[in-house]
Amino acid sequence: MADPFEVRMRFTSQLQHLNASTSSAHKAANYALRHSEFSDDLHSCILEQLERNNMNNRANIMYFLPALCDTAKAQGEIGYIRMMERDILRIIDLVAPDDGSGAANVKVVRKVLGILRERTFLQPQTVVELEECIVGRDSGAVEASPRRDLVADATADTAVRNTPQSMAREAGGMGSGMFNPGIRLDKRQIEQRIEEDRERHKRAREGIWAIAQQQHSMGGLAVDAEFEKLWEDGSVVDDDDYQMAREEAEERRKHLEFDDY
């Protein structure tokens, strides 16, 4: 059996070195699933790194969550998914605090929430409520919203893990809804964020036309989704289409005759 302390340290290192590449996220996710017997401890590592790291690392960890949930679902380990659902409000507060210090991460939170909703890791109504909680956070410090209080009350009976940093922060008055960790980005961090956002946008454009395919129980495709979409989007052939085809054929014939000379 692996040493719990070593597993924790290795996973922490992988979280700290996450970047915009999918390989880094998959590597960390596979490591977490390989040591799923320490799932509670590794989940606490995620929360601790969200508290300790800068805004860029928090964004990378937020993007890491869908990869972790996908890997957990594929391997039948739903523990990580349940803990993500339980602590999602706290994760959002760490990635995009309501004091305005994480304004640049609000779009990241919205995008990841959309991914988690599309992949059914979060219920649509839950995502709607969470998005209402972060309204205004991308424009500066805001007071805790009533919707946020309702969501927090609904999950108050759930055992939420507390790390030393979060306990110290709450003792300092985060409950008032105005927490200021004093996060400042230097030039290197800004350039890193720009480069990582560019990489993510490039990957998003690569898969923008992809259509999810349904697998048949026998192993093949049940329906060719791309063909069906093309068929539905195409218009019915009418007399105008035949007339256009005749005109184009006549144009081609004239060009061929001209080329003979």
Is 111 in contact with 190 (CB distance < 8 Å)?
no
Question: Quick one: pLDDT band at residue 7, thresholds 50, 70, 90?
Answer: very high
Q: Averaging pLDDT over each range in 79-88, 141-150, 212-221, which range is the top one?
A: 79-88
The reported pLDDT for the residue numbered 143 is 44
The CA dihedral of 249, 254, 257, 258, to the nearest 10 degrees, is -140
Q: Is the pLDDT of residue 69 over 90?
A: yes
Using one digit for the tens of pLDDT, what is the confidence trace for 187-240? 787 888 888 888 887 777 766 666 655 555 455 555 677 677 777 777 778 888
Contact 119, 69 (CB under 8 A): yes
CB 153 within 8 A of CB 160: no
Pair of tokens at residue 120: 């059914």
CA-CA-CA-CA dihedral for 204, 221, 214, 203, to nearest 10: -10
Report in angstroms the alpha-carbon separations of 92 from 84, 130, 218: 11, 8, 41
d(CA 237, CA 106): 47
Interaxial angle between packed helices 106-118 and 55-74, expressed in degrees from 0 to 180 and rounded to the nearest 10: 10
Q: How confident is the model at residue 124 (pLDDT cuts 50, 70, 90)?
A: very high
Q: Is the pLDDT of residue 132 over 70?
A: yes
Query: 154-162 long-range CB contacts below 8 Å, 24 or more apart?
Result: 155/86, 155/89, 158/86, 159/86, 160/86, 160/87, 160/90, 161/40, 161/43, 161/44, 161/47, 161/87
Amino acid 210: pLDDT? 60
The β-bridge partners of 223 are 214
pLDDT for the residue 200: 80
Q: Per residue in 36-57, pLDDT tens?
A: 999 999 999 999 999 988 888 9
Mean confidence (pLDDT) of the chain: 78
For 221, the enclosing helix (H) or strand (E) is strand 221-223
**Between 85 and 198, residue with greater pLDDT:** 85
Structural domains in the chain, CATH included, are 2-132 (1.25.40.90)
Q: How far is the C-alpha of 63 from the C-alpha of 20, rounded, in Å? A: 8
Helix, strand, or coil (residue 222): strand
pTM to 2 decimals? 0.63
Cα–Cα distance measured from residue 75 to residue 69, given in angstroms and rounded to the nearest whole number: 10
